[in-house]
């Protein structure tokens, strides 16, 4: 089974982000980057499928030079080879634009299965995987926690709202958007990193892929959330105060 | 009354037949010795060469050899009575080297020591004194092993040890008895033959039993890597630690064959003592078993038939085994080496361990919390940021930056530093030093953390660090050296002890001098690893009278947190922390003084479990802070 995993490099979870002077992106200089979390689960799912059914795992990532780091990490964890779409203008491309780049690079590989993380930790659009499926003409399913290979194709477990799960079957080739938490992630090893040095990473530029870069969604600007403190002191006896607290938790905060 | 003669009887005029028989027996004895010893030597020499091994500077080796081998310092110090008995046996053996050569030469009519001559008489009487001490010593050891039977010597009685004791006893008695007969008496000849036969029987027994240590352990001690618990660097692209036989180095192989099975390592091991699978002696003997079966070039995994993975990951790296070992076996590098082999190749699968590794691959701290939590703590506590102008960089560490108890220690230590007028600052960004991943064998993450931290320290032009955590101190000072030059670092106990004259100027509130009994717990990484025992005691004594737990100083018993085990979830058997907390509480102390945030966190719950009236638990920095004059601006230690 030939599996392609689309991964993205995003700012580290606890990075202190600042808005750049143009107001359309963050200052990247003092930020550390890491592999997007749900992409790590997509990779893990691919590696486990390969361990069970054999085949090849290829990772693909679009991004500037620094994105090579997450490709090497994925190779270290067990992916067989990588494709790096070198593009510095991802900020001005919308999800459709990125999906077009990915689709153009994936098409000639003729994969059996394409996995993507459910959504990125930076933009959180949750669209790239789904659009990619449309561009490739593959059936797709998202919010996937578990994948089984059957005689006819795949049987997948989807996570729905309020603790519900859905089990569906779909034929191959297919695109799945993987939800975080379905598997136990493997840790990176020294041996993996050393072996990864000998693995192939093919570089492709956006120009070579010839994908249409004109966006349909234009980013107007980004901003940091405003901090606000709204502490309330609930007056009265402990009994009255706790009754008022329950009231507020139930109807204002809606957590009960 | 039977009195000894002035000279040792030496039979003369051996017949040709006697000489030929004696010669044949010598050849047979040496052949039987070599058959086994040659095989062992071959396995040791065919093991991988130790990368980075250097014979020089040789002074340290000569000193270790003199102290540990010639003076038997460790043998005696850690178990005085049996140690002394052993030392007399050893010294007698040394004295007997010349006696034995002369004895054999006598059989061929070539004796070179004249028993009536000045030197000959002196030496034979000197040897007699040693022989007497040795005979008494070996008898004492025999009584200990077969009648007293301490459980560290194993359940089964060792017939080998009995045989060896008997042989040594016979050697000494036959030597001494020769003072009571004359040269020409038939008894002299009988004694000579008994002595000779015993000697020739003794030689082949050596390599076939644990008495191989007679031959090997002087080399083991002389060739040891040196440094306590020194983890060797990996060499080349194919070195992932101890994976298979081919990874066992000559020094490790030499050590495994040197083990004398005395059980001192097990006696002090926190894992063995609380019902875990790990027994450091069995790890060493397991590797020996592996070498015997598979040999040093094998690709067969070390973890498997002879060494259990579960046991390897139960080590707290407290180092008491290595500290105790009288034959120079370096257990901690072996155990960490086995972990490296399992982790660097991805063979170790553990939910907690995997989580810790992932947290440190991506994040900054072993607790898996966001770095923003540390920033909030620094802001709330109004800790100054290090800008290069201050004397000290106060290293927070994972516990000091993220753990509520660790933060209390930092807050109090910062107050003390401010009171003393010492300038200090904390780094804006800091990552885990890598201690838990280093000890768990994850070299990849350790290297990333060490390099990233070294870069931060260099950018900030840090010259001096002070830390509340002995694990941070050890890792920064020793383990980081593989990747750069770390700044000078000291533990806060050293800092506090140096400023003791300015502390304790007012009575410590809540702790009443005279009434307060304080027991100080030696953290492994401060005591055995750093040799700091007195400084924290002096600080702890600010608040009351010190009492000692039964196991203290270099024999201190681990809290159970080291070696990354604090992050590996529930332990099997009794909790190490509970065993130690019960021991500390049983001293009747009103306060337990700790000097390590990991010990602190382990004892917090464990002391509560000792029942009502459990002693309070304070870090030495907290004790020092409570003695500061009132009226100082005190920031509350808010917990988050």
d(CA B292, CA B520): 45
pLDDT at residue A97 greater than cutoff 80: yes
Are A184 and B351 inside 8 Å of each other by CB? yes
pLDDT at residue B631 greater than cutoff 90: no
**What pLDDT does B511 receive?**
57
Find which of B233, B371, B430, B448 to mutate to test the A interface (most A CBs within 10 Å of its CB): B371
Chain B residues lying within 8 Å of A188, measured CB to CB = 357, 361, 444-445
B157 shares its domain with B252: no
Check if the beta carbon of residue A7 is closer than 8 Å to that of residue A59.
yes
**What pLDDT does B516 receive?**
86
Question: Which band of pLDDT confidence, cut at 50, 70 and 90, is reported for residue B636?
Answer: very low
Q: How far is B496 from chain A (nearest CA, A)?
A: 34
Check if the beta carbon of residue B335 is closer than 8 Å to that of residue B283.
yes
**What pLDDT does B637 receive?**
38
Q: How far is A51 from chain B (nearest CA, A)?
A: 14
DSSP type of residue B301: B
For the beta carbon of residue B343, count every other beta carbon within 10 angstroms: 29
**What pLDDT does A175 receive?**
97
Best CA proximity match to B554, nearest among B275, B264, B272: B264
What domain range includes position B107? 16-218
Reduced to 3 states, what is the DSSP secondary structure of residue B14?
coil
Are A34 and B240 inside 8 Å of each other by CB? no
pLDDT at residue B185 greater than cutoff 60: yes
Q: Does B442 touch chain A (CB under 8 A)?
A: yes
| Domain total of chain B | 4
Using CB atoms, pick whichever of B357, B362, B375 lies closest to residue A12. Answer: B362
Q: Tell whether B634 is covered by a domain.
A: no
Q: Tell whether B228 is covered by a domain.
A: yes
Q: How far is A32 from chain B (nearest CA, A)?
A: 10
- Provide mean pLDDT across the span B454-462: 96
User: B544 or B220: whose pLDDT is higher?
Assistant: B220
Whole-angstrom CA distances from B514 to B181, B310, B591, B613, B615 are 68, 47, 13, 19, 16
The conformational region for residue A175 under phi > 0 = left, psi -120 to 50 = alpha, else beta, is beta
Q: Tell whether B632 is covered by a domain.
A: no
Are B346 and A187 inside 8 Å of each other by CB? yes
B20 shares its domain with B159: yes
**What pLDDT does B628 receive?**
85
Among A171-180, B505-514, B560-569, the minimum mean pLDDT is found in: B505-514
Q: Tell whether B274 is covered by a domain.
A: yes
Mean pLDDT of chain A: 92
CA dihedral over B442, B435, B274, B78, signed as positive or negative: positive
CA dihedral over B578, B580, B586, B587, signed as positive or negative: negative
Residues 604-623 of chain B with CB under 8 A from chain A are none
B271 shares its domain with B294: yes
For the beta carbon of residue B347, count every other beta carbon within 10 angstroms: 15
B415 shares its domain with B536: no
Burial code of B499-509, b = ≥16 C-beta within 10 A, e = fewer? beeebbeeebe
Among A249-253, B42-46, B421-425, the minimum mean pLDDT is found in: A249-253
Q: Does B379 touch chain A (CB under 8 A)?
A: no
**What pLDDT does B635 receive?**
45
Percent of chain B with pLDDT over 70: 96
**What pLDDT does A67 receive?**
95
Using CB atoms, pick whichever of B237, B351, B362 lies closest to residue A34. Answer: B362
Q: Tell whether B70 is covered by a domain.
A: yes
B35 shares its domain with B119: yes
Chain B residues lying within 8 Å of A185, measured CB to CB = 354, 358
Q: Does B443 touch chain A (CB under 8 A)?
A: yes
**What pLDDT does B10 receive?**
85
Strands A2-6 and A56-63: parallel
Write the burial class of residue B144 (CB in 10 Å: 0-12 exposed, 13-18 middle, 19+ buried). Answer: middle
- Provide mean pLDDT across the span B432-461: 97
Residues 211-240 of chain B with CB under 8 A from chain A are 234, 237, 240
d(CA B425, CA B387): 7
B40 shares its domain with B184: yes
B517 shares its domain with B476: no
Q: What tens digit of pLDDT does each residue of B30-69 get?
A: 999 999 999 999 999 999 999 888 998 899 999 999 999 9
Using CB atoms, pick whichever of B234, B361, B372 lies closest to residue A187. Answer: B361
B440 shares its domain with B291: no
- Provide mean pLDDT across the span A99-123: 95
Contacts of B145 (CB under 8 A, 6+ apart): B153, B157, B158, B161, B162, B165
Phi, psi of B426 (to 5 degrees): -110, 155
Best CA proximity match to B283, nearest among B229, B211, B230, B339: B339
Are B344 and A190 inside 8 Å of each other by CB? yes
Mean pLDDT of chain B: 93
Question: Which band of pLDDT confidence, cut at 50, 70 and 90, is reported for residue A13?
Answer: confident
B26 shares its domain with B168: yes
pLDDT at residue B11 greater than cutoff 90: no
Q: How far is A172 from chain B (nearest CA, A)?
A: 31
Please provide the DSSP assignment of B439-506 as one string.
HHT-HHHHHHHHHHHHHHHHHTT--EEEES-HHHHHHHHTGGGGTS-PPEEEEHHHHHHHTGGGS--S
**What pLDDT does B587 receive?**
95
Beta strands, E only, B15-141: none
**What pLDDT does B510 receive?**
52
Strands A2-6 and A9-11: unpaired
Question: Which band of pLDDT confidence, cut at 50, 70 and 90, is reported for residue B606?
Answer: very high
- Provide mean pLDDT across the span B594-604: 97
- Provide mean pLDDT across the span A59-70: 95
Question: Which band of pLDDT confidence, cut at 50, 70 and 90, is reported for residue A96?
Answer: very high
B481 shares its domain with B536: no
Chain A residues lying within 8 Å of B357, measured CB to CB = 187-188
**What pLDDT does B246 receive?**
96
Q: Tell whether B438 is covered by a domain.
A: yes
User: A250 or B455: whose pLDDT is higher?
Assistant: B455
Q: How far is B355 from chain A (nearest CA, A)?
A: 8
Q: Does B453 touch chain A (CB under 8 A)?
A: no
Q: What is the largest CA-CA distance in chain A?
A: 72
CATH number for the domain spanning B264: value is: 1.10.1060.10
**What pLDDT does B640 receive?**
33
Last-in-domain residue among B198, B218, B238: B218
Q: What tens digit of pLDDT does each residue of A34-44 get?
A: 999 999 999 99
Find which of B358, B365, B455, B482 to mutate to test the A interface (most A CBs within 10 Å of its CB): B358
Check if the beta carbon of residue B540 is closer than 8 Å to that of residue B626.
no
Q: How far is B340 from chain A (nearest CA, A)?
A: 9
Q: Tell whether B350 is covered by a domain.
A: no
Chain B residues lying within 8 Å of A12, measured CB to CB = 362-363
Last-in-domain residue among B152, B187, B218: B218
**What pLDDT does B505 receive?**
62
Q: Tell whether B351 is covered by a domain.
A: no
B568 shares its domain with B593: yes
Q: What tens digit of pLDDT does each residue of B330-373 get?
A: 999 999 999 999 999 999 999 999 999 999 998 889 999 988 89
**What pLDDT does B639 receive?**
34
Most confident option among A3-17, B154-168, B229-243: B229-243
CA angle A166, A168, A170 (to 5 degrees): 155
Are B346 and A189 inside 8 Å of each other by CB? yes
Chain B residues lying within 8 Å of A48, measured CB to CB = none
Most confident option among B306-315, B504-513, B539-548: B306-315
Last-in-domain residue among B194, B218, B242: B218
Q: What tens digit of pLDDT does each residue of A195-233 get?
A: 999 999 999 998 888 877 788 888 888 888 887 777 888
**What pLDDT does B87 receive?**
96
CATH number for the domain spanning B560: value is: 3.40.50
Are B445 and A193 inside 8 Å of each other by CB? no
B53 shares its domain with B68: yes
**What pLDDT does A148 receive?**
96
A12 token code pair: 């580290």
């Amino acid at each position: 089974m030939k599996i392609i995993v689309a991964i993205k490099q995003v700012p580290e979870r606890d990075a202190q982000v600042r808005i750049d002077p143009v107001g359309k992106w963050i200052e990247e200089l003092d930020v550390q980057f890491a592999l997007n979390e749900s992409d790590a689960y997509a990779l893990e799912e691919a590696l486990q499928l390969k361990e069970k059914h054999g085949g090849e795992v290829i990772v693909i990532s679009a991004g500037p030079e620094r994105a090579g780091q997450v490709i090497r990490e994925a190779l270290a964890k067990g992916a067989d080879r990588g494709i790096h779409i070198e593009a510095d203008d991802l900020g001005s491309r919308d999800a459709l634009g990125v999906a077009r780049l990915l689709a153009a690079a994936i098409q000639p590989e003729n994969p059996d299965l394409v996995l993507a993380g459910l959504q990125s930790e930076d933009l959180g659009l949750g669209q790239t995987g789904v659009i990619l499926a449309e561009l490739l003409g593959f059936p797709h399913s998202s919010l996937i926690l578990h994948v089984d290979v059957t005689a006819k194709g795949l049987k997948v477990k989807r996570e729905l709202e309020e603790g519900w799960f859905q089990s569906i079957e779909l034929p191959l080739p297919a695109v799945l958007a993987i939800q975080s938490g379905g598997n136990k992630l493997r840790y990176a090893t020294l041996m993996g990193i050393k072996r990864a040095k000998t693995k192939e990473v093919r570089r492709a530029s956006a120009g070579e892929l010839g994908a249409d870069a004109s966006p349909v969604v234009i980013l107007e600007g980004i901003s940091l959330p405003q901090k606000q403190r709204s502490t309330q002191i609930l007056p009265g006896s402990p009994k009255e105060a706790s009754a008022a607290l329950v009231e507020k938790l139930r109807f204002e905060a809606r957590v009960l | 009354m039977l009195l000894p003669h002035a000279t040792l009887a030496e039979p003369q005029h051996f017949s040709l037949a006697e000489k030929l028989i004696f010669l044949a027996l010598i050849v047979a004895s040496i052949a039987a010795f070599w058959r086994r010893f040659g095989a062992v030597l071959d396995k040791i020499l065919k093991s991988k060469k130790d990368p980075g091994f250097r014979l020089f500077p040789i002074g340290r080796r000569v000193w270790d050899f003199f102290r540990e081998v010639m003076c038997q310092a460790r043998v005696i110090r850690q178990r005085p009575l049996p140690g002394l008995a052993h030392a007399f046996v050893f010294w007698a053996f040394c004295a007997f080297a010349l006696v034995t050569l002369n004895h054999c030469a006598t059989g061929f009519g070539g004796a070179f020591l004249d028993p009536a001559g000045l030197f000959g008489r002196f030496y034979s009487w000197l040897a007699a004194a040693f022989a007497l001490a040795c005979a008494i010593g070996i008898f004492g050891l025999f009584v200990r092993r077969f009648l007293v039977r301490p459980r560290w010597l194993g359940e089964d009685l060792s017939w080998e040890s009995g045989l060896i004791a008997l042989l040594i006893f016979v050697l000494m008695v036959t030597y001494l008895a020769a003072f009571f007969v004359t040269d020409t008496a038939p008894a002299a000849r009988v004694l000579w033959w008994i002595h000779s036969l015993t000697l020739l029987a003794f030689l082949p027994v050596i390599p076939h039993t644990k008495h191989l240590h007679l031959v090997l352990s002087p080399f083991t001690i002389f060739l040891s890597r040196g440094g306590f618990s020194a983890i060797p660097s990996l060499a080349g692209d194919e070195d992932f630690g101890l994976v298979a036989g081919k990874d066992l180095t000559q020094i490790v192989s030499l050590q495994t064959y040197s083990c004398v099975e005395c059980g001192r390592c097990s006696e002090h091991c926190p894992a063995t003592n609380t019902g875990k699978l790990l027994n450091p002696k069995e790890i060493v003997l397991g590797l020996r078993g592996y070498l015997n079966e598979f040999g040093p070039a094998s690709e067969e995994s070390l973890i498997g038939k002879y060494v259990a993975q579960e046991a390897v990951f139960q080590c707290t790296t407290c180092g008491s085994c290595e500290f105790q070992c009288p034959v120079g076996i370096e257990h901690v590098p072996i155990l960490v080496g086995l972990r490296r082999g399992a982790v660097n190749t991805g063979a170790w699968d553990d939910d907690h361990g995997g989580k810790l590794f992932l947290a440190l691959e991506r994040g900054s701290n072993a607790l898996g919390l966001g770095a923003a939590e540390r920033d909030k703590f620094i802001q709330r506590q109004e800790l100054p940021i290090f800008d290069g102008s201050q004397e000290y960089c106060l290293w927070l560490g994972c516990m000091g930056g993220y753990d509520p108890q660790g933060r209390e220690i930092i807050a109090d230590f910062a107050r003390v530093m401010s009171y003393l007028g010492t300038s200090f600052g904390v780094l804006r960004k800091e990552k885990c030093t890598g201690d838990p991943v280093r000890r768990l064998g994850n070299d990849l993450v350790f290297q990333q953390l060490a390099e990233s931290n070294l870069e931060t320290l260099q950018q900030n032009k840090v010259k001096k660090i002070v830390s509340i955590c002995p694990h941070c101190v050890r890792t920064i000072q020793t383990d980081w050296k593989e990747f750069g030059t770390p700044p000078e670092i000291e533990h806060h106990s050293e800092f506090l002890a140096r400023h003791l004259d300015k502390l304790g100027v007012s009575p410590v509130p809540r702790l009443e001098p005279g009434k307060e009994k304080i027991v100080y717990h030696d953290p492994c990484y401060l005591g055995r690893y750093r040799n700091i025992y007195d400084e924290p005691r002096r600080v702890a004594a600010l608040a009351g009278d010190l009492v000692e737990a039964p196991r203290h100083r270099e024999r201190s018993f681990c809290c159970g947190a080291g070696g990354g085990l604090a992050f590996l979830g529930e332990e099997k058997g009794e909790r190490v922390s509970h065993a130690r907390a019960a021991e500390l509480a049983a001293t009747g102390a009103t306060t337990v003084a700790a000097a390590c945030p990991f010990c602190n966190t382990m004892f917090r719950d464990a002391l509560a479990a000792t029942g009502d009236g459990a002693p309070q638990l304070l870090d030495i920095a907290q004790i020092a802070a409570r003695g500061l004059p009132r009226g100082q601006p005190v920031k509350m230690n808010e917990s988050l």
